[in-house]
Amino acid sequence: MKIHVGDQVKVLRGKDAGQTGKVISVDHAKNKAVVEGLNKVQKHVKPSQRNPQGGRLHKELPIDVSKLMVLCPKTGQPTRIGYRYLEDGRKERFARKSGASMGIVAPPKAAYAKKA
């Protein structure tokens, strides 16, 4: 999955379409991500020992990754994500629109190092 925790994303579809937020967690098995402040719902809670007041809690639910698009760190525009190998064999994520690096993903591998 190309979306990682800490990425700034824009929601493409749904009730929060057009809004942006930071990814809090990612579920690779279900292809979903929780975005800070988006897809909020109210959960009604009965009074209990832990929560004697009871009431309504606001919480974020996961959004399908297909409805999210990562924002480019350089331009702030939605972009697709690609992977490339650097000269020393490290693998990095990059924004396809601007080519800006989005961090190293894997340590160096000799097989992918460019020989001079």
pLDDT at residue 114 in the model: 86
Complete domains list, the chain, with CATH: 1-71 (2.30.30.30), 79-116 (no CATH)
pLDDT at residue 116 in the model: 64
Supply the DSSP symbol for 7. Answer: -
Residue (of 39, 33, 43, 44) closest to 69 by Cα position: 33
pTM greater than 0.75 = yes
Positions of the chain with pLDDT lower than 70, given as ranges: 116
Supply the DSSP symbol for 30. Answer: T
Residues sharing a CB contact under 8 Å with residue 76, sequence separation 6 or more, in sequence order: none
